[in-house]
Structure 1
Amino acid sequence: MKFFFASIAFLLCYQLNAQEIKGKIVDDKDNSLSGATIYFDGSTIGTLSRKDGTFNIEFKEQSNLTLVIRFLGFETFYLPNPDPKTNYEISLIPKENQLDEVVFDTSPFTREQMLKAFKHDFLGRTKAGRRARILNEDDIRFYYDKDEKSLYASARQPLQVINKELGYKVEFDLVDFISDFTRVTLDKDYQKTNYFGGTSFFENIAEEDRRIKRKRLKAYKGSSMHFFKSLCSGHLEESKFKLFHKSFQVPASSVFDIKKVNRKVRASRVLGVESYEDSYEITILGNDFENLNIDSTLIRNKFQKKVALLHKDDRSDITFKTKVFYVDDYGNHTQINNILFSGDMSKGRLGNMLPINYQPHD
């Protein structure tokens, strides 16, 4: 499952080195489920289960890959790092038949005001975000906690988003959304943090002509995917990135130690088989907390490194709360909850989001 801090068409052609995941979808009484939706989170790769509940889906291994299985009336099933050597039988659990909770609305804001604030943070502030439309806004529920000064949102059904600018229909299964403020308000000037999480599936709804490719490339340039891919390939300067630490421009080698490794992503005790994938292992050098003259075990046992980036004239800030993480060949990184973005990289949100299998030179 992918998470985002302030800082998801079927693939028409597959990589030659793609592998295949196979399995069968059944209910809790072992009945086959036909028409279950199966996709890789954040990708354009998906399929439906057949009449007998079986499915097969091709993929190229990437970091943090999760197979999502959804069927109406059942709990969503998540399968992290699926193994192509395993023939899965996945049993879905029926959802409890619960009516929507009756909530006495004591919010100081109207639904229209909360919806506007939600779309600002969920879709983003870029041109693509402003042009994007949520088709099923009525499925979104809001709650504002005056004591916590926080706006919460959830959805009865996956949100259907039309992104005209980038030519995608995105199906986003919203799991969490929260915006925290310093006072009881929806004013962005008083917003502390914004967070949303869920799974996503991308469908191409526009012909991939030069215009669409150009717009997608523009969204990619300066993104976190672009940064991490450039970092691992040693092409930060060529990609127009400048790295700063404590207001001084620094070389990447002073902040990041990068190694190409075979990372173990799964192990089967029954079969005695371990599976590996090529990844870049990135270790952050130094800990900003070590420079604080505070004798506290709470600080001593924590890790944090803040850096600033300039891509052309646009600034982004990245806070690393993990010392080690991994990046795949596309520029997707692990430890998503512990790598936080603000500034330009945080503005795009869903509006500028690209599939995790996006290739800028396709």
Structure 2
Amino acid sequence: MKKKYIPLFICLSLLFTTITVAQTFEGLVFDAQTQQPLFGVSVYFDGTTIGTTTNQEGKFSISYKSSTNSPLVISYVGYETQLYEVRKLENGAKFFMKSKPQALGTVYLDNDPWSRRRKLDIFKREFIGESVEPYMCRILNLDAIELTYNPVTQKLNAYADTPIIIKNKYLGYTVSYTMEEFEVDLRFNNNGDALTRSVYIEGSTFYTEQNKNVRRKHRKTREKEFGESVLHFMRSLAKKQLTENGFQIFRKGFIVPPYKYFQIAQIGEETNVKLTADRLVIVYDRFQKSFLTIDDSNKEFFIDKYGNYSPPRKLSFGGVLGDKRIANTLPLDYNL
């Protein structure tokens, strides 16, 4: 049966990175309780291909570009993930990791009426997405994912104590995703089909190239996905380059001047945007149709200099932009 979808929104902790001069940061990672060094801790810049692991002495060394602005992520199985702004750290800093408490979602297990298969189908639909064939982008460690459905709130939540490993043949990356939050708000039609009302996903990502040399087909798909991304739209909006970058804005079926319903002002390094309409249609490259809605009475949001918008839950995207999932996302040090 063909399924119908309604507006959704998604947050993947995106920060855009531009490459310039290289720097190196070193540090040490310990268990907060035992004070013993931790071996094999993952240390990486969120959403990029820049990462390393600690040695047997808990030491790591990571090189990055001076323009890298993603948070530095320190992640280890069974411990709480830590994020830092690397420029505020002293070289040689010590990091102490705390054991992770049990996920709160397990309290719903006794009242969960759904089979794991049904929950997993919805999770893969909303986490991986449906724009890419399943064999082209798949999760390698599905057993690491715990799923709970609460029939009272009609919400599906997912938890994972270890990073989720995704093999994305579509874009040519293997992705390690440390999931902090996953929630799908559902509703049901008369046939009992579970339809998505909204999606919220938050976590940190580390990308590894699958091939030493990027294949031509991957270059093409990466260019396509970047052009159709929310990040590309937000950066274009902040710079007032919507028309130049292939975007058109429609209101009630008619094309309108691109900034008619956007009040844009620069405040330091951020762009303040006030939306003066409840819903706008966004068309990219003449045929890629999406829509943007904002339900809050205060229709104001901010875009930082890298193209990230906040608060992430305030805006909802539907259509092409709303359908983007992990299968469509690129590392943030990707450059066209």
- Per the TM superposition, whether the score is higher than 0.5 is yes
Matched, 1:307 2:307: no
Distance 1:136 1:61, change over 3 A: same
Q: Secondary structure at the match of 1:25?
A: strand
Distance 1:286 1:110, change over 3 A: closer
Query: What amino acid sits opposite 2:249 in the alignment?
Result: L
Q: From 209, 233, 255, give the equivalent of 1:227.
A: 233
Query: Larger deviation: 160-169 or 130-139?
Result: 130-139
Q: From 147, 154, 161, give the equivalent of 2:152.
A: 147
Q: Secondary structure at the match of 1:44?
A: coil
Matched, 1:15 2:29: no
Structure 1 CA distance, aligned partners of 2:106 and 2:300? 42
Residue deviations 1:263-298 (CA, integer Å, cap 9, x gap): 4xxxxxxxxxxxxxxxxx22224545xxxxxxxxxx
Q: Secondary structure at the match of 2:152?
A: coil
Structure 2 CA distance, aligned partners of 1:89 and 1:356? 27
Distance 1:71 1:152, change over 3 A: closer
> How far off is 1:332 after superposition?
3.8
Residues 74 and 93, structure 1, Cα contact 8 Å, conserved in 2: yes
The total of aligned residue pairs comes to: 313
Query: What amino acid sits opposite 2:71 in the alignment?
Result: T
Distance 1:85 1:95, change over 3 A: closer
Distance 1:284 1:95, change over 3 A: closer
Query: What amino acid sits opposite 1:347 in the alignment?
Result: D
Residues 43 and 356, structure 1, Cα contact 8 Å, conserved in 2: yes
Residues 108 and 150, structure 2, Cα contact 8 Å, conserved in 1: no
Match of residue 264 from structure 2? 257
Matched, 1:5 2:4: no
Matched, 1:327 2:304: yes
Q: Secondary structure at the match of 1:337?
A: coil
Structure 1 CA distance, aligned partners of 2:133 and 2:173? 11
Matched, 1:356 2:318: no
Structure 2 CA distance, aligned partners of 1:224 and 1:101? 33
Structure 2 CA distance, aligned partners of 1:119 and 1:5? 16
Match of residue 160 from structure 1? 165
Matched, 1:317 2:291: yes
Match of residue 224 from structure 2? 218
> How far off is 1:73 after superposition?
3.5
Q: Secondary structure at the match of 1:127?
A: coil
Q: Secondary structure at the match of 1:121?
A: helix
Residues 238 and 264, structure 2, Cα contact 8 Å, conserved in 1: no
Query: What amino acid sits opposite 1:323 in the alignment?
Result: E
Residues 36 and 48, structure 1, Cα contact 8 Å, conserved in 2: yes
Q: Secondary structure at the match of 1:83?
A: helix
Residues 7 and 343, structure 1, Cα contact 8 Å, conserved in 2: no
TM-score (norm 1): 0.75
Distance 1:326 1:104, change over 3 A: closer
Query: What amino acid sits opposite 1:159 in the alignment?
Result: I
Match of residue 197 from structure 1? 202
Residue deviations 1:330-361 (CA, integer Å, cap 9, x gap): x444433333322211212111011122212x
Structure 2 CA distance, aligned partners of 1:17 and 1:260? 27
Residue deviations 1:164-210 (CA, integer Å, cap 9, x gap): 1100111111222222223499735x331122222111111133122
Distance 1:103 1:232, change over 3 A: closer
Structure 2 CA distance, aligned partners of 1:344 and 1:97? 36
Residues 244 and 308, structure 1, Cα contact 8 Å, conserved in 2: yes
Q: From 338, 346, 349, give the equivalent of 2:322.
A: 346
Match of residue 90 from structure 1? 95
Listed as ranges, the gaps of 5+ residues in structure 1 are: 9-13, 264-280, 289-304
Structure 2 CA distance, aligned partners of 1:225 and 1:156? 29
Residues 26 and 92, structure 1, Cα contact 8 Å, conserved in 2: yes
Distance 1:35 1:249, change over 3 A: same
Match of residue 272 from structure 2? 283
